[in-house]
Amino acid sequence: MESQAKIFWRYFKRNRLAVGGMTIIVITFLIASSASLIAPYDPGKTDVSLKLNPPSTQNFLGTDQLGRDVFSRMLHGSKVSLSVGFVAVAISILIGILVGATAGYYSGWVDSVMMRFVDIMLCFPSFFLILTVVALLGPSLFKVMVVIGITSWMGTSRFVRAEFLSLRERDFVQAAKALGVKDRRIIFRHILPNALAPVFVTATLDVATAILVEAGLSFLGFGVQPPAPSWGNILTEGRTYIFDAWWLTVFPGLAILITVLSFNLFGEGLRDALDPRLRGRR
């Protein structure tokens, strides 16, 4: 009999776009983790005599207004963007699981109170909420990660709650209760492992959203602060020279586009392969 992992892979590999997205994600992760080794120059090294040089064999993606190598800054910027994406999503998934599991398992007034709080949070436009909090606390990489995480958990909590409402009535849960197993153990050992499939899909898509939000915050000057490189602030610095140095906006823009698109394609493929109802469509 085929294992669940083999069944998943058999369906997942049929989606070529999802496999391509996964490949790009892996390559981007490897590049980000070894940016210090790959980068030909120090990303913070300035040389005004080389400012705004177009792409060449010496500087693959050209130089910026301070003569810094754009290729080296893009490599180090990938580390920042992926770090924001994964850390922010880890925070949001943790909060979402705790809220959704508690609301779905206990239901009743606990569910009502928690879900009304979720509804209130969803009333606020996420990006403007993040922008306001970061503006009040002051911009920094750590604060950006935390703020994105604590303002983007609502979707996860709803998915987890729905799964718990369904699973809490299953025979294996009722049997555990009859044996006197504590609620905490039932939630985390019996129900949660069976409710994680939609969470994985949501997490993949949320990483793309977090990267995009970080780029937007950096573009507006509320994200990662110079001289630390990120795709968003490289894009910001290049907008002044958009007609004189096209490479300062095109390359970071393409990096954001390709990375976000890859995560979205991978997430869609993951959803199709994990959901038995969608497998027959491919």
> Which runs of E-coded beta strand occur in 106-148?
none
Q: For residue 145, what pLDDT is reported?
A: 86
Calpha distance 144→169 (Å, rounded): 39
Cα–Cα distances (Å) from 233 to 91, 94, 97, 186, 228, in that order, read 24, 29, 33, 46, 9
Q: For residue 275, what pLDDT is reported?
A: 66
Single-letter amino acid code for the residue at 151: T
Q: What is the secondary structure of 41-102 as a DSSP string?
A: S-TT---GGGTTPPS-SSSTT-B-TT--BHHHHHHHHHHHHHHHHHHHHHHHHHHHHHHHHH
Q: Is the four-CA dihedral 228, 233, 234, 236 of positive or negative sign?
A: negative
Q: How far is CA 66 from the centre of its chain?
A: 31
Q: Whose CA is closest to 157, among 111, 124, 88?
A: 111
Calpha distance 80→50 (Å, rounded): 25
Q: Whose CA is closest to 150, among 162, 163, 137?
A: 137
Q: Record the tokens describing residue 16, joined without a space.
A: 């070529």
Q: For residue 95, what pLDDT is reported?
A: 93
Single-letter amino acid code for the residue at 165: L
Query: Which parts of the chain have pLDDT scores under 70?
Result: 1-4, 275-282
Question: Any idea which fold 4-279 has?
Answer: MetI-like fold (1.10.3720)
- CB proximity list for 105: less than 8 A, separation 6 or greater: 164, 168, 183, 186, 187, 191
Contact 238, 215 (CB under 8 A): no
Calpha distance 134→267 (Å, rounded): 28
